[in-house]
Amino acid sequence: MERVVARVRRHARRLALPAVLLICVAGGVPYALHLFPEPWQQLAVVAAAALVLVLGVLLPFLAWLTRRITITTRRTILRSGVFVRIRQELLHSRGYDVTVRRTWAQSAFGSGDVRINTGHERPFVLRDVPAPELVQAALQELMIESHTRIADHRRAEQSMADGDTIAWGGR
């Protein structure tokens, strides 16, 4: 039975710049409305502010919100996309190498990239996840558990084939 081990999103520091932009627009629009006396100028200020909010605040928030990593006992699932949904899966039973890569900014905020090398030309990368060492340890433990489960299943099948069954009618 497959159980969810963890659900992870990118580090929330990605939303710091959109939050600052939201505060600046919220403070700057009333000031700009007071500066421009003509109604068409005020309408232009409001339209420009709305455009900045949509492009600079709403879209980055939606991009952060829709990118999710789910780690289960059988696989790792990466879902992303605002307008086009993309879903990638990686089974733990395949076996892979898990490494953590951190930039200086990621180290300062306690995040990093977890790189899963599956032997293909492009590795499976979980970008900017919080506590990457914990994610790495969990993935390695799940991979070992999956391989142990497969080996036990194969041994059970082998022992059944070696003499636990009797062929009727044979001499």
What is the CB-side half-sphere exposure of residue 23 using CA atoms within 13 A? 6
Would you say residue 170 lies in a domain? no
| Residues 60 and 80 reside in one and the same domain | no
Number of compact structural domains in the chain: 2
Res. 3: pLDDT tops 80: yes
> Tens of pLDDT along 41-75?
999 999 999 999 999 999 999 999 999 999 999 99
Strand intervals (E) in 23-159: 68-72, 75-80, 86-91, 97-101, 111-117, 124-130
**Worst-scoring range by mean pLDDT, 30-39, 112-121, 147-156?**
147-156
Bigger pLDDT: 119 vs 4? 4
| Residues 114 and 41 reside in one and the same domain | no
* pLDDT the model gives residue 82: 80
- Burial group, residue 9, by CB count within 10 angstroms (0-12, 13-18, 19+): middle
* pLDDT the model gives residue 119: 79
| Residues 91 and 139 reside in one and the same domain | yes
- For range 76-100, the mean pLDDT: 88
| List of residues 6+ apart from 99 with CB closer than 8 A | 114, 115, 117, 136
Query: Would residue 124 be called left, alpha or beta, if left means φ above 0 and alpha means ψ between -120 and 50 degrees?
Result: beta
What letter represents residue 117's amino acid?
Answer: N
Look over the chain and give the mean of its residue pLDDT values, rounded to a whole number.
88
The rounded radius of gyration (Å) of the Cα atoms in the chain is 26
| Residues 76 and 55 reside in one and the same domain | no
Residue in the block written with tokens 């899963």: 116
Residue 22: give the domain boundaries.
12-64
| Residues 117 and 133 reside in one and the same domain | yes
Distance separating alpha carbons of residues 9 and 113, to the nearest angstrom: 12
Would you say residue 31 lies in a domain? yes
| Residues 48 and 84 reside in one and the same domain | no
* pLDDT the model gives residue 153: 74
Q: Please tell me whether the overall predicted TM-score, pTM, comes out greater than 0.85 for this model.
A: no
> Tens of pLDDT along 128-163?
999 999 999 999 999 888 878 877 777 777 766 555
Nearest CA to 126 out of 3, 8, 6 is that of: 8
| Residues 24 and 92 reside in one and the same domain | no
Q: How confident is the model at residue 122 (pLDDT cuts 50, 70, 90)?
A: confident
Distance separating alpha carbons of residues 157 and 145, to the nearest angstrom: 19
| Residues 88 and 57 reside in one and the same domain | no
